[in-house]
Amino acid sequence: MRKTIVIALGGNAIKQADESGTAEEQFKNVQTTCRQLASMLMYGHRLVITHGNGPQAGNLLLQQEAGKEEVPPQPFDIVGAMTQGQIGYMFQQTLQNFLWEQRTPLPVISVVNQVLVSEDDPDYQDPSKPVGPFYTKEEAEKIKAERPEYVIKEVKPPSVEKRFRRVVASPDPIRNIEYLAIRKMVQTGIVVIASGGGGVPVVMDEKGCFRGTAAVIDKDKAGQRLAAVVGADVFMVLTDVDHAKVNFGTPEERDIGCATYSEMVKYAEEGHFKAGSMGPKVEACLRFIKWGGTLAIITSLDKAIGALIGQTGTRIVPDPVC
Ligand code: ADP
Ligand code: MG
């Protein structure tokens, strides 16, 4: 049966941990990813794709800093939009090429979209998401003097010289601003790449106008909002592990196969999923099921198709109604 599937791709879909991030490396990884995505399209499913942008935004922020004597550095929200375009372009082109090779030229589009957040979100009180370059104490003090609005924190032990980093808030996504356009495109059969890097975070003023804010939205939570917008049947989080696990990293570690909503809530409450990595993925999946989704999957890219047909991966389903 044809399904609408929202896929949230992790960092390794674009850049491996040991790579510097050259265009060639990134295109090579994107090709591996798109091969899997193209197979899902061949099964007749509708795909909506979202992805992270951490390493790309980090590098672009470094470039802003390095070139600031020559070219005005761009603010955080614009850097987010630039990486949406950058990564979206790589996926769009690669996927189009694969589809063309198979003589199935489905339309593919990547959109730069904004995601609404609230300035009242508690994360603005004590921002925690490190972004951009590392600084020495002196560099951190100089930047703070130039840009008093920056929050800079010590993120490594005192023995490390470059141990300071800018931190920004990671507010909860409320909704996609461009949701109507995205929904219409998906309904007409277009493969849409959206909310990259969690989307460009914006706040709304009292007149209803939007303005970018220096924040990073978790891409899995933004992916769940996207899944709701397009009325997805399946929400799939593809990362670098093939299952979410209980007792992760201990001798009692065990893969979670199929779990009901309540079973997964219990595991989360027991603290099995780390904040900032598996935690938000599980939370996004639980939100999807609570919203009305029928299946949420956490697995690795190479297991995606197997997980879709119930052979592997962590599969979260609604509680039985009886
Ligand atoms: P991505 O870049 O794909 O969003 P993350 O690095 O944020 O991925 O999250 C995936 C990582 O979560 C895994 O590589 C693993 O180290 C970590 N992790 C934390 N808790 C768990 C758990 N309970 N089960 C599996 N992986 C976990
Ligand atoms: Mg990662």
Question: How close is the Cα of 277 to the center of ligand 1, in Å?
Answer: 5
Tens digits of per-residue pLDDT, 215-267?
A: 999 999 999 999 999 999 999 999 999 999 999 999 999 999 999 999 999 99
Establish whether residue 11 lines the binding site of ligand 1, counting it when its CB lies within 6 angstroms of any ligand atom: yes
- Supply the pLDDT for residue 321: 82
- Supply the pLDDT for residue 22: 94
φ, ψ for residue 292, nearest 5 deg? 130, 5
φ, ψ for residue 104, nearest 5 deg? -130, 70
3-state class of 174 per DSSP?
A: coil
Contact 25, 32 (CB under 8 A): no
Q: Which residue has the higher pLDDT, 226 or 150?
A: 226
Cα–Cα distance measured from residue 143 to residue 55, given in angstroms and rounded to the nearest whole number: 22
Cα–Cα distance measured from residue 137 to residue 122, given in angstroms and rounded to the nearest whole number: 27
Where do the domains of the chain lie? 4-54+63-117+172-317
Asked if the model's pLDDT at residue 191 lies above 80, the reply is: yes
Question: How close is the Cα of 13 to the center of ligand 2, in Å?
Answer: 10
Cα–Cα distance measured from residue 255 to residue 242, given in angstroms and rounded to the nearest whole number: 9
pTM here? 0.94
Tens digits of per-residue pLDDT, 304-317?
A: 999 999 999 999 99
Mutate to test the pocket of ligand 1, among 278, 285, 301, 302 (most ligand atoms within 8 A of CB): 278
Is 4-54+63-117+172-317 a domain of CATH 3.40.1390.10?
no
- Supply the pLDDT for residue 1: 80
Question: How close is the Cα of 93 to the center of ligand 2, in Å?
Answer: 24
Instruction: Indicate the residue type of 165.
Output: R
Q: What's the mean per-residue pLDDT of the chain? A: 95
Q: Of 245, 237, 304, 242, which is closest to residue 274 (Cα–Cα)?
A: 245
Q: Which residue has the higher pLDDT, 80 or 129?
A: 80
Q: In the predicted model, what is the mean pLDDT of residues 173-202?
A: 97
Question: How close is the Cα of 211 to the center of ligand 2, in Å?
Answer: 29
Establish whether residue 239 lines the binding site of ligand 1, counting it when its CB lies within 6 angstroms of any ligand atom: yes
Instruction: Indicate the residue type of 233.
Output: D
Mutate to test the pocket of ligand 1, among 9, 219, 224, 274 (most ligand atoms within 8 A of CB): 274
Establish whether residue 244 lines the binding site of ligand 1, counting it when its CB lies within 6 angstroms of any ligand atom: yes
Which ligand 1 atom minimizes the distance to the CA of 220? 4
